[in-house]
Amino acid sequence: MTDQRSIERILDEWFADGPSVAPDRVLDVAANRIGRQRQRPAWRLLSWRDFPVITTSKLVAGLAAILVIAVIGIAVVLRPGGSNVGGQGPTASPSPVATPTPAPTPSPSSTVLKSGVTGPGTFTGRFAASEIPWTVTIPKGWAAYDTDIVMGPSRPGDKGVAILTERAVNVPKDSCAPDGTVPATSAEEFLTALEARKDWDISNRRAATIGAYAATRIDIVLPENTPTCGGGKDYMIVVHNDGQGFYSQGPSMHVSYWVANVNGEPLFVERFSFPETPASDLAESDVVVNSIKITP
Amino acid sequence: MDRELLAAAQHGDEAAFVDLIRARSNRLFAIAQRILRDIDRAEDALQDALVIAWRDLRGLRDPDRFDAWLTRLLVNVCIAQATRERRRTANLRVLPVDGPAAPDEFLSIADRDLLERGFRRLSPDQRAILVLHHFIGYEPSEIAETLGIPAGTARSRLFHAHRAMRAALDAEERTVLVGGRSA
């Protein structure tokens, strides 16, 4: 039965037998589970380099090309018709003065925060993909993902910065076993749960504002060797009541939270970055956070 | 049509996603059952794979890769589940064969039992490779694309899987013979 000649035929025959119709309950159960499962934003499934924003190198190359063209153009325009040697040349007629191209103003459709829009500009999205509007101003090089996330310039490796909005989340007691975590009902409840995580490096609370609301800012640094949970499970930072949420994006990730009670509900602005994120990106992100307006 | 459903599903349309997978569920279930050799576990694996597919669907950038992507997800779930099961039951006797096993002229019931035992001796990776090749009919290049491995590696793994299956069957035959003599 096991000689080389027959093994392939045996397996063909054997696999051909057996059930070939999925029981209806499989789809029913899957559909039910899907109804309780949020889709991950695509950017969380991409590496930074895949994110479709203009890279710094491309920007520099583009600006350099524009500069070269401008210099050549000015030289051509200002070049006299002939030699000036031996006397005054013809009276120079006023040369065209280069006027700066006005910065593009966002068209009405581009003011909507959605995947693909890029800064500079002020955009209105939906806070944490909810019905709550929020407005954010992002500089050149930044881009939006979905209606609730903005990301800084693309950087190779773990060097980026992004700002997310969250709602109905809390900090799990165990990042590898987040099931059972109940969303915080107040900023204080969230902050208390966060400060209970003794395995994280957590700053003191600081008074801040977010979207014109009084807020508390708190910063955390995840361990250098963020534990992997095994079995393909993510190391969760904050989760919704279904155990899904925001998870570690890389070692020593820095996360800052601005937490505000808005109409009796805690809302969260979340910024994450890495030790190698350029200071200039972080400075821009501070400005971006300060620009946020929440208008429930 | 599938592209429209896929686009809708990627924008959060659950009904579109269910329609999309309904047409594929039989094939996927059959793959899972053949890798795991257990109907209940195949159901669990398929459900898990479909939930993961829904969760990560927005990360799929090439619609033409949907079937390969979904198959890969399922195979990975099956391998993970079989690995866990293998650890748990390493010292236990294998379970009886699941599912209909209509006798035919080529394979006797005894042969099927032997195959079942031999197959369970294989690593989960080897089981998956054999199912993709002999059940789905994938060539090594297609196996490579599905599993995200180089074609040469797929060919090599298929060769070793066949060899491991032969060795497993030989070992099972010896076990049966020894068992028969000592009974």
Q: What pLDDT was estimated at residue A72? A: 54
B48 vs A249: CA distance, rounded Å: 23
- Residue A223 pLDDT > 60, yes or no? yes
Shortest distance between the Cα of A250 and any Cα of chain B, in A, equals 18
B28 touches A: beta carbon within 8 Å: yes
Mean pLDDT for B20-42 is 95
Mean pLDDT for A107-111 is 54
Q: What angle do CA A69, A72, A73 make, to 5 degrees?
A: 80
Question: How do residues B79-116 score in pLDDT, each as one tens digit?
Answer: 888 887 765 554 333 333 444 444 445 667 777 888 88
- Residue A85 pLDDT > 90, yes or no? no
Q: Round the CA-based radius of gyration of chain B to a whole number and report it.
A: 18
Mean pLDDT for B11-39 is 94
For residue B48, which amino acid is it? D
Mean pLDDT for A157-183 is 89
Residue A18 near residue B33 (C-beta atoms within 8 A): yes
- Residue A12 pLDDT > 70, yes or no? yes
Residue A149 near residue A129 (C-beta atoms within 8 A): no
Spell out which residues of chain A touch residue B25, defining contact as CB-CB under 8 Å: 22, 26-27
B165 vs B118: CA distance, rounded Å: 6
Please judge whether B56 and A40 are an interchain contact, meaning their C-beta atoms are less than 8 angstroms apart.
yes
Sheet containing A293-294: order of strands: A121-126, A133-138, A293-294
Q: Which of A13, A21, A35 sits opposite B26 (nearest CB)?
A: A21
Please judge whether A19 and B25 are an interchain contact, meaning their C-beta atoms are less than 8 angstroms apart.
no
Shortest distance between the Cα of B159 and any Cα of chain A, in A, equals 11
B93 vs B82: CA distance, rounded Å: 15
Mean pLDDT for A13-20 is 88
Question: How do residues B152-180 score in pLDDT, each as one tens digit?
Answer: 888 888 988 898 888 888 877 766 555 44
- Residue A104 pLDDT > 70, yes or no? no
- Residue B7 pLDDT > 50, yes or no? yes
Residue whose pair of structure tokens reads 């190698």 in the numeric block: A276
Q: What pLDDT was estimated at residue B115? A: 87
Residue whose pair of structure tokens reads 């890029």 in the numeric block: A118
Mean pLDDT for A125-150 is 90
B101 vs B8: CA distance, rounded Å: 40
pTM for the full predicted model: 0.50
Mean pLDDT for A217-234 is 76
Best residue of A1, A24, A28, A49 to probe chain B, by most B CBs closer than 10 Å: A1
Which position has the higher pLDDT, A266 or A231? A266
Number of Cβ within a 10 Å radius of residue A185: 14
Give me the residues of B, 55-74, that contact A with CB < 8 A: 55-59
Mean pLDDT for A262-286 is 93
Mean pLDDT for A60-79 is 51
pLDDT band at A79 (very low <50, low <70, confident <90, very high): low
User: What does B112-137 look like in DSSP terms, one character per residue?
Assistant: HHHHHHHHHHS-HHHHHHHIIIIIS-
- Min mean pLDDT across A154-158, A209-213, B68-72, B164-168 is at A154-158
Spell out which residues of chain A touch residue B34, defining contact as CB-CB under 8 Å: 15, 18
